[in-house]
Amino acid sequence: MTIKHADEYRDPAISKKLVERITELSKRNIRLMEVCGTHTMSIFRNGIRKLIPGTISLLSGPGCPVCVTAQNEIDAFIDISKEPDTIITTFGDLMRVPGTGSSLQKERADGKDIRMVYSTFDAVEIARKNPDKRVVFPGVGFETTAPTVAASILSARDMKIENFFVCSAHKTVPPALCALMKTEGIKIDGFILPGHVSVIIGTGAYLPFFNQFQMPCVVAGFEPSDILQAILMLVEQIENKTPELENAYTRAVSFEGNRKAVSIMNDVFEAADVAWRGIGIIPGSGLKIRDEFSDYDAGKKFRIIEKASKEPKGCACGEILTGLKTPVECPLYKKICTPVDPVGPCMVSSEGTCAAYYKYHSGY
């Protein structure tokens, strides 16, 4: 089924036909994982789990950038905020993520200069207006946001702003897919690949992963019909035993992706081995600032002490991010951990699985 017009993506009649086709074709029990926090929220918001047949289980993977940020990285952001003459600029989701002993929100309440911004260029502007302060932007996110952070470093260099720094905790998606396939206990029959990330990197970026594992994969958009179309394509692949790398989001995603954005990202960053919450160290999955831009690297400018950071006691965010558990299987969910007083990042972020369960499935 081909969807051509924008008003069709939320058309109940189109969705109904897709659900009927999925139900007709789905014969075996399968587990599909969406690797995008925005997909997770859309699936819950539109009741897709209740529409599809019981043969299909949807798992929420490591698609929330704040959630997969390692605890020691969160602690490093908090430590930098305590430095004198320093301003932390950050997006809102990161503010409330608990570190080992504090959070950026708590530090701001204690008088630290921590400001919410809506873009990395807001942070550069704050640095320009406060030349006597060191302005730090924690770089959290996947390939979607990394090019904008890279562009802010290039902009600061061009403007000769010397007090702007980035603490890069960026991560890339394809290596994480490989790590999931190698993680003991995880059973996945197909991937709903992220839309926003794929706009940047293109479907071609997943070819090495697909060629290695022959795992059914479909890039999806974010409307109900987009997601149902991707599920249908995955069911067809699995039932026919013909794994493919397909694109159900052709109106936004190409094979090549956004070459200019990728070029800017690669000019400023290079691959690094980094830790993901719940998965551990994934080779080549991080983005560190290249040596030629070291003047903007907060990790080199500030004395960040490596310390043993502890995950919140009893928190199952790690298992939830890898599909090993659902939020209702976490002993803290809705008892100790709530959106008002979150214990782990999966309850904090607007793209977090626990937040989605809590908001849209109050019966859980």
- pLDDT tens track of the chain, all 364 residues? 555 555 667 788 899 999 999 999 999 999 999 999 999 999 999 999 999 999 999 999 999 999 999 999 999 999 999 999 999 999 988 999 999 989 999 999 999 999 999 999 999 999 999 999 999 999 999 999 999 999 999 999 999 999 999 999 999 999 999 999 999 888 999 999 999 999 999 999 999 999 999 999 999 999 999 999 999 999 999 999 999 999 999 999 999 999 999 999 999 999 999 999 989 999 999 999 999 999 999 999 987 666 667 778 899 999 999 999 999 999 999 999 999 999 999 999 888 999 999 988 755 4
105 lies in a domain?
yes
pLDDT at 10: 77
Beta bridge partners of 138: 167
Domain count within the chain: 3
If asked whether residues 72 and 144 sit together in one domain, one would say yes
What radius of gyration, in Å, describes the C-alpha atoms of the chain?
21
With b meaning 16 or more CB within 10 Å and e meaning fewer, what string describes 135-171?
bbbbbbbbbbbbbbbbbbbebbbeeebebbbbbbbbb
1 lies in a domain?
no
If asked whether residues 99 and 241 sit together in one domain, one would say no
311 lies in a domain?
no
Of 205, 220, 247, the one marking the end of a domain is: 247
If asked whether residues 151 and 196 sit together in one domain, one would say no
pLDDT at 12: 82
Of 203, 219, 247, the one marking the end of a domain is: 247
Of 185, 217, 247, the one marking the end of a domain is: 247
Q: Which domain holds residue 193?
A: 6-64+176-247
Tell me the C-alpha to C-alpha distance, in Å, between residue 43 and each of 189, 192, 227: 18, 11, 8
231 lies in a domain?
yes
pLDDT at 363: 53
If asked whether residues 164 and 135 sit together in one domain, one would say yes
Beta bridge partners of 272: 286
312 lies in a domain?
no
Question: For residue 339, which amino acid is it?
Answer: P
If asked whether residues 143 and 283 sit together in one domain, one would say yes
| φ, ψ at 193 (rounded to 5°) | -80, 150
If asked whether residues 166 and 96 sit together in one domain, one would say yes
If asked whether residues 75 and 144 sit together in one domain, one would say yes
The answer to whether 37 and 195 have CB atoms below 8 angstroms apart is no
pLDDT at 167: 96
308 lies in a domain?
no
Place of tokens 């794994």: 243
The answer to whether 297 and 272 have CB atoms below 8 angstroms apart is no
If asked whether residues 289 and 334 sit together in one domain, one would say no
If asked whether residues 48 and 196 sit together in one domain, one would say yes
If asked whether residues 141 and 104 sit together in one domain, one would say yes
If asked whether residues 18 and 39 sit together in one domain, one would say yes
Reduced to 3 states, what is the DSSP secondary structure of residue 209?
helix
Q: Which of 313, 294, 310 is nearest to 302 (CA)?
A: 294
- Domain containing residue 205: CATH number: 3.40.50.11750
309 lies in a domain?
no
